[in-house]
Chain A
Amino acid sequence: MSDIRKWFMKAHDKGKGNASKPANPAPTNTDSVLGGQETSGRRKTSKYFPAGKQQPKGEQGTEELPAKRKVQNENESVEKPPPSKKPSKVDIDDDFVFPKSKNTVDVTPSKKRKSGSGRGVAQKAEDNDESDEDDAKDLESPVKSGGRGGRGGRGASVAPASGRGRGRGRGGFMNFGERKDPPHKGEKEVPEGASDCLAGLTFVISGTLDSLEREEAEDLIKRHGGRITAAVSKKTNYLLCDEDIEGRKSSKAKELGIPFLTEDGLFDMIRASNRGKAHSKEESKKSAESFAASLPKKSPQKMEVKSNSSSAKISGKSSTTSVSSTKQRGQPIQQSSLTWTEKYRPKVPNEITGNQSLVNQLHNWLAHWNEQFLGNGSKGKGKKQNDPGAKKAVLLSGTPGIGKTTSAKLVSQMLGFQTIEVNASDSRGKADAKISKGIGGSNANSIKELVSNEALSVNMDRSKHVKTVLIMDEVDGMSAGDRGGIADLIASIKISKIPIICICNDRYSQKLKSLVNYCLLLSFRKPTKQQLLRSMYLLSCGFHYPIFCTCYCLGFYLMQLFGIYGGKLRMDERIDLSMSDPDLVPLLIQENYINYRPSSIGKDDSGMKRMNLIARAAESIGDGDIINVQIRRYRQWQLSQAGSLSSCIIPAALLHGQRETLEQGERNFNRFGGWLGKNSTMSKNYRLLEDLHVHVLASRESSSGRETLRLDYLTVLLTQLTNPLRDKPKDKAVKQVVEFMNAYSISQEDFDTVVELSKFQGHSNPLEGIPPAVKAALTKAYNEGSRTQMVRAADLVTLPGMKKAPKKRIAAILEPSGDVLGEENGDTLPESEENSSDTEDLEGTTDGEKLQAELLSLNSKGIEVQMELKGTGNSSAKKAPAGRGGGGKRASGSAEKKGGRGSGARAKRKR
């Protein structure tokens, strides 16, 4: 469990970093104990909390103090390792307030309401930003509530958090008039308001603010249109200060009668401009002279109920609450710049596009899960295997982007389940059985803990605990790092006391075979076009419901660009459309522009005008390609607008109109760009051709270039390879072809390459008319031949001692028909092996060595070569000691030996 904490804590720290500067360095544990203690005591009298602030609280209820410091206390209390410490009332309250404010599992609502206060609500708002943190704490809560004993253990692992607490603590210590870190740095949620809500107002900031750094405050004000001046003057509207440090500014301000404004007041101003009530859940207490009067006042009690509505209502009903809580969560999120897919993620199941029945099924499964497995006692599991509810887990599968995760989350939310999502970004290896590592070992351990410790949470609050559901996202991604992840997951499913939803893309994946047996399978299908179009339509109308699926989306953009109304779009809208994917949209345009019948040309009997426009569009697309090269190769990104203009907008502007089909039976819908596929086929074929080329070069018969090989040789090669098979008697033909293949060291794969490259659509297959028996005989003969062949063209040969074939192809060495230099081949071969097996840096030198070696051997053959061999590479000498010594004839023998040892000396050699 603690590790999950750690893991979330990191995220949480990061989250904090956004709002404020990084927390102070974490202190040592002992320190923090003291510090925590002290600060909790000291804070009460700290002048950071002037009387004015505490005042309203005092009126409010009995518990305002702890509540106010709840956050700090939480951290501080975490730092207290010894369980023996007498739990103060404050601490207990903290414990309960804390999880509760996030509507977590184990706290009774009544208690919650009691302890919750304005502050607690503020905390809540912050939590919205850091929902991850929430989850972590949720996990934590059962233990926490289990008793104070659990505390001690936790302390150690919370280093980052303690850092935070410490930072605050220091604020308390070093209270010496200098400007220092704000005491509640980063704790409050900084509101976003209308951009001009502070327009015309002039602020002066004095002293240390409650949670913002001076710079942050300035930034905040400026962002909302306010002005900041350094000194107080008549024009100043507000003096922003949280503590009256009696400085020059404040005295001047008092002189001039300028109102003081606290930070909270400022926040409220901003919020008020935005949405009067939505955010009034922020703490409303502020100093008397503040701006507060203009705000909608609410009694803290009421506000608290409201903001905590989710948790409050949980006590009553179960289903509606979590939805409302999501709504709450959703609000701050919407303000930030999210991708559309996130922004318009469906909020209720009905909004999910497609697969409604599956969603319903999921809903039913989840709804009945508890009765099935818990309500009926633990017997429920074995009862009826056919009942879909009888599986304890469910496996959602389907292609990416069709809303699996979304549905899972929505359904769980709707049923009041709290979701815990574990996805591929987390390590999900096998749980570590060793107790010594504790449960902090791996994530899987925490999952185990999670699924099995339901008892704890039940104890807390008999029947009304919040239910949890574990979502294991991307289970098929459990690989490499996650050894035994699936097996462990299955084990977890078996013991689980909470529902588990597994999500994968390909349920037929080998990895998931075992898992499938334990899960209820729900396969999501792609939404049909109609369903999608509905989404798209709604999106284009401005709002809601998209699904992320690029190509359909883009197709839709295309329809817009090309469509009848394309001409009426504003230019910036068109650029937006084409820039939605600057790589893909041009391809789609290029693929489809021919299909449009431009509406601008009017009457066009001969098709003349249309042809003209198409030519112009095609040229413009070409321009786009040229610009794209400039952008990509020379990084001229300033051209990207010109690129989108010429590759998308001009063609679309020229041709927008009705789409028509060109071929019969074609659906009248934009095709996906064909270029990508064709291009990859092309590069594949080039690779094959290159292999063939290397082999032919290696045969030493020809030294033509790759292009020549394709353009001129290929036809002849094909006739040489296939014609005899067709015409001549089987044995003779096979012999002839195999001889030819060997002469040019064409391998079986190359044969296929030649055939493949000679295939043209609409032409007959070059292999036509060759009886299968002959083909089989050819393969057989070739394989036999290659065995007797001394050395074959070397290509990605596996060397002994190396698991994988070397990346680098091994050199193929060939000799002229004369026998004279046979010996040499013997030595260069091992050398090349050495090359490949040794490190790259050898390469530079071996080249020279080789040159030298061969040069020498040229002059004086035979024995000298041997010497040279020893000089050049000792490993080569080691590798082939047997074949040395002899004359020219031996060379082939040595090669053979090497071949026999599988050392990869398969470079084909002509004798």
Chain B
Amino acid sequence: MTETLVPFDEVLERYDPAMGLEVHVELNTNTKMFCGCPATFGGEPNSQVCPTCLGLPGSMPVVNAKAVESAIRIGLALNGKIAEWCRFARKNYFYPDMPKNFQTSQYDEPIVYDGYLDVEVEGETFRVEIERAHMEEDTGKTTHIGGSTGRIHGADYSLVDYNRAGIPLIEIVTRPILGTGAKAPLVAKAYVAALREILLGLGVSDVRMDQGSMRCDVNLSLSPKGADKLGTRTETKNVNSLRSVERAVRFEMSRHAAILDAGEAIFQETRHFHEDTGTTSAGRPKSDADDYRYFPEPDLVPVAPSREWVEELRGTLPEPPAEKRARLQAEWGYSDLEMRDVWAAGALTLIEATVAEGASAQAARKWWMAELSRAANDRGVELAEVGVTPAQVAEVQKLVDGGSLTDKLARQVFEGLLAGEGSVAEIVDARGLAVVSDDGALGEAVDEAIAAQPAVADKIRGGNQAAAGALIGAVMKATGGKADAKRVRELILEKLA
């Protein structure tokens, strides 16, 4: 079905967007939320299960202390309040991704409430209010067999692996995000990016969107410009990259506007996001919370974190990312624009690590933002996964600083690193990339250049030192770019003095 869409700019002429973002984060605890099974990724199917996470009769759940600790630290880092007393609840539904026929979650008593996160988009700060963050467990993984699409519809039957069932999850839910207008898609993306950065800093999750340890559901509605009532929303599920978050918001805004323009009503439903086309398609009608028949989990006693514990955990929080950015910007002497670009490229921690390895902040920025960003872009991977480490960047820069590599040669080293040709030393060796600063070898090339361009040589003899550039260029060419340009210049001037 081809969807009618309204161009994005036109949407904003008639409608105001409201967004709500729900982010699920898998914690990186050793064990599951309610049992001692390993919570690691990638095991053999059904090899990380026990009677509790399989929901077998007679089994009893017990809460993982580390998961509660992580939930509290996340709450504090999001400027939230920590409940003095809260309970788990059963969310009842019939779907075989949970063998118990319910998911243990929290309902009206989340462990974290009333937080916020400030995000910056193009120099403007938006405060995203966080309504709640609650503890729950992940579900098993279903594979649909048969049918043509590999999707649930048309499948003949499904296979279930319960390794993931019971892994601790924190679901972080925003209040409706209003007043973002044309920046709505960017604010959504920036919020998820900022959240990811905080979680990474806390060390509570791998936050790998590509592996599903961080997943985002995007709620979106439009209301006629100036209206004070929110429109009907759709919920686009499992949007699994930062770029997709932005695209999902953009697409749904255009789609909603077309429906509303036609005088029709938005159907409250979940939507599936398609990475390949950047579009969404209808999922299921959205259940009311009532349909899950939540009730307090009788097998788990309430969680009542003492204020002492909460304060102790507050003491373990890392420097908030925004403050850290301000500090690093001052230390590194970057302009606002440079800093923004660095952050947007995901290069901040990489540059920090490169500087820690001894490179200057300017040099670190140069390599990460030019050569390596381009390579990451070409390969469609995150900068951190491009295949070059901060230590290697620092090592290359050290060779440049020491005069044994030029920038041009350094770029060839990075080429080698990106192609997996080995260590920095191995590549320099194998590709023969060391700078020639040996006077004997350079002297010959300089003599040849002078002989080849007598007119230029005369100019230099006549005192025009700027003319040396032409000879330096010839020497660089003759040495395959490996000559130490500074030394070449000195030799030319000496010989033509």
Q: Are the chains A and B members of one assembly?
A: no
B positions within 8 Å CB-CB of A: none
